[in-house]
Structure 1
Amino acid sequence: MQMMGIVVSRDQAPIVEFRGEGGESITVTLQAGHTLPDDQLIAKAKAMMIQVAQFGMDQTNSAAMSDRLSADEVIQSGMSG
């Protein structure tokens, strides 16, 4: 997504919206009660997106390694047999 702008709103809870071209957007809602300045809310929202992007990656990488090892074992047993 090509970033076009960031909008911070403070209704019931702070919301940081990352807007992209073509109408795409990612919205992060922070816990109500945050009274941080906009730049700190944006930094917190970015950190949350990084955590979300990494969520489950260890399990995914482990499964991929397991699948790869299983395929390698099959290849090796075929070569030795």
Structure 2
Amino acid sequence: MQMMEIVVSRDGTPVVEFRGEGGETITVTLQAGHILPDDELIAKAKAMMIQVAQFGVGQINSAAMSDGSADEVIQSGMSA
């Protein structure tokens, strides 16, 4: 996704929206009560996305290596 714009809204709960070309959007909702400047909210949202992207990757790769399906995991990951 090519990032085009980052929008922070504070309607009750802080929300950081990453907008890409072609209408793609990733929205991160932070815990209510965060009173941080926009740049800190954006940094926190980016950190959350990194954690989510890595969630379970080690478990999937370990299972694929043990049953010989590593090529399938790599291919399916590349097609996403």
Matched with 1:33 is 33
User: 2:9 and 2:55 mapped to 1: Cα distance?
Assistant: 26
Q: TM-score, normalised by structure 1?
A: 0.82
Unaligned runs of 5+ in 2: 69-80
Give how far 1:29 is off. 0.1
Matched with 2:8 is 8
Matched with 2:50 is 50
Give how far 1:49 is off. 0.2
User: 1:58 and 1:3 mapped to 2: Cα distance?
Assistant: 27
User: 2:67 and 2:12 mapped to 1: Cα distance?
Assistant: 46
- Runs of 4+ residues over 3 Å off in structure 1: none
Aligned residues: 69
Pick the structure with greater CA Rg. Answer: 1
SS at match of 1:19: strand
Give how far 1:58 is off. 1.4
User: 2:33 and 2:48 mapped to 1: Cα distance?
Assistant: 17
User: 1:16 and 1:39 mapped to 2: Cα distance?
Assistant: 10
